[in-house]
Amino acid sequence: MSNAQYFLEATYLIASCLFVLGLKGLSHPDTARRGMIMAAAGMSAAVLGTLFHPDIHNYIYIAIGLILGSCIGIPMAMVPMTAMPQRTALSHAFGAMAASMVGIAEYVIHGPTLGGVKMGALGLEVMLGSLTVTGSLIAAAKLQELMRGTPIMFKGQQIVNLGLFIVMIGSFITWLINPAVSVYFYTMVGCAFVFGVMLVIPIGAADMPVVMSLLNSYAGLSSAATGFVLGNNVLIIAGTLDGFSGFILSILMCRAMNRSITNVLFGGFGSAVSVETAVSGSMREVSVDDVAVQLAYASQVVFVPGYGMATAQAQHACRELGNLLEERGIAVKYAIHPVAGRMPGHMNVLLAEANVPYSSLYEMEQINPEMPQTDVAVVIGANDVVNPDARDNPKSLIAGMPIIEVDKAKSVVVLKRGKGKGFSGLENPLFFKSVTGMLYGDAKTSLTNLAQAVQKV
Ligand code: NAP
């Protein structure tokens, strides 16, 4: 091996170790920031090592790619936290597009001379990559509300999907048997692009987090297959880590949303017709002063943040109110639903930014048994994750999704701007219950007003 190759393999080894350590760090909020830095350092090492690859003779195209990529990547990283899911979907689309294009280029350059195993990996790479490109673009369009968020269905959709899947896999197998006949290869690529669209359009926006992590997993597996084709160890390792961690996250999110993974894989969920519980009565509006008195004389207060806290950027105001209550000897807890907000861990990130100690954060399973002893549950811009219909109405679109059971608390205060619905577009019977008071207004303003009012009690 030449010195350059030694350097390459050494950087790949360091990068792989950093990826594993980074992933381990990301498994806990305490170590997540360090994990992220390690993973980024790993990626830098992998890129640096690759620049010394003996097969690279001309750096001009690489430099152009680097400049173009940076020009696109830097503004993409500047989007607000609330737009992060659609930004992530776009990143998946770009990553998968890169993997597919490498695969197609390899086939065009080397043709059937690559050999059976590499051809299999190449086909898999291009197929998974292509369907991830279009699937991720549709997911991004739905999340950005450029497309209708509700499931897009038509008659015979399942049959069309099955037919498309059979033609795609059939073309893949036929091409493996006859690798010189490129028409099978391009038929597979075309079907994969269309299949990606078909996979995501019938999925309701509320189920999108599962789809996102599944597409992440496909993009990772596609990159791993690229690694096999190019004989690149770091791509195999990073792609496999990404593929399987994405898949495990999909399973965990499926559990959190009570969806079966088979339904996700076959794009069948989100298709049920939702029957909403008829709500009667009206919402009871409460004033800042009323809520302040309730809070000031409580023994235990649980804050339940949701997407509205993110849009209002109300995490600091929430922490300040929490501090004031704690100073009065009140037990203050923060309940975290796994899919609150718009991405996994969204609420953890916001509350960590506001220096809420991890020991005050409670997962759904931990906090639900405490609800009957909670004097006031303060819902901050959350809706779907506290919707009792998910528990009580088997025909609801979100039926079976575990919720934070604030309706079991002695009293509930909901902070939201008006009568806006949640991500699923469903009405929330919680807002009509006698135990619930609605404090209308932007969450940050309401929390700031509450903090001032509590000090006067
Ligand atoms: P949600 O159901 O989307 O409800 C958010 C509520 O916040 C709305 O009803 C809105 O009502 C209120 N709101 C918006 N801006 C506000 C502001 N400035 N101040 C006060 N209130 C404000 O949120 P969620 O309960 O967190 O549920 C998350 C949903 O997103 C779930 O359906 C989940 O499946 C889905 N999802 C999650 C992820 C993930 O990974 N976490 C990813 C994609 C989708 P008003 O308009 O009346 O104010």
Please write the tens of the pLDDT for every residue from 328-375.
999 999 999 988 998 778 898 899 889 999 899 999 999 999 999 999
Please write the tens of the pLDDT for every residue from 94-138.
989 998 999 999 999 988 887 778 889 999 999 999 999 999 999
Is residue 384 part of the annotated active site? The answer reads: yes
- Supply φ then ψ for residue 356, to 5 degrees: -75, 125
Pocket test for ligand 1, best of 274, 342, 423, 448 (most atoms within 8 A of CB): 423
* pLDDT of 271: 47
Q: Is residue 353 part of a domain?
A: yes
**322 in the same domain as 386:** yes
- Given 230, 265, 300, the domain boundary residue is 265
Q: Is residue 423 part of a domain?
A: yes
Three-state DSSP class for 378? strand
**251 in the same domain as 293:** no
- Given 231, 265, 299, the domain boundary residue is 265
Q: What is the mean pLDDT of the chain?
A: 89
**335 in the same domain as 301:** yes
Q: Which residues line ligand 1 (CB under 6 A)?
A: 85, 206, 208-209, 306-308, 311-312, 339-344, 346, 381-385, 415-424, 442-443
**C-alpha span between 93 and 274 (Å, rounded):** 31
**374 in the same domain as 256:** no
Give the DSSP letter string of 271-316.
-SPP-PPPP-S-PPB--HHHHHHHHHT-SEEEEEE-HHHHHHT-HH
Range of the domain at 142: 3-265
Nearest one of 104, 180, 182, 90 to 142, comparing CA atoms: 90
- Given 265, 299, 318, the domain boundary residue is 265
**232 in the same domain as 100:** yes
How many domains, the chain? 2
Distance 159 CA to ligand 1 centre (A): 34
**441 in the same domain as 401:** yes
Of the listed 207, 289, 290, 384, which one is catalytic? Answer: 384
Q: Is residue 278 part of a domain?
A: no
Q: Is residue 283 part of a domain?
A: no
Domain CATH for 437? 3.40.50.1220
Q: Is residue 191 part of a domain?
A: yes
**299 in the same domain as 249:** no
**C-alpha span between 85 and 254 (Å, rounded):** 17
Distance 16 CA to ligand 1 centre (A): 37
Distance 83 CA to ligand 1 centre (A): 13
**163 in the same domain as 301:** no
**192 in the same domain as 101:** yes
Is the entire prediction scored with pTM above 0.85? no
Pocket test for ligand 1, best of 416, 436, 447 (most atoms within 8 A of CB): 416
**174 in the same domain as 61:** yes
**C-alpha span between 415 and 121 (Å, rounded):** 52
Pick 441 or 8 by higher pLDDT: 441
Q: Is residue 424 part of a domain?
A: yes
Distance 58 CA to ligand 1 centre (A): 49
Residue nearest to ligand 1 atom 36, measured at CA: 342
Please write the tens of the pLDDT for every residue from 14-57.
999 999 999 999 887 778 889 999 999 999 999 998 888 888 88
Distance 342 CA to ligand 1 centre (A): 8
**432 in the same domain as 372:** yes
Q: Is residue 279 part of a domain?
A: no
* pLDDT of 58: 87
**219 in the same domain as 107:** yes
* pLDDT of 175: 94
Q: Is residue 175 part of a domain?
A: yes
Please write the tens of the pLDDT for every residue from 272-291.
455 666 677 788 999 999 99
Pocket test for ligand 1, best of 212, 417, 445 (most atoms within 8 A of CB): 417
Nearest one of 395, 151, 422, 389 to 270, comparing CA atoms: 151
Please write the tens of the pLDDT for every residue from 208-218.
778 888 888 98
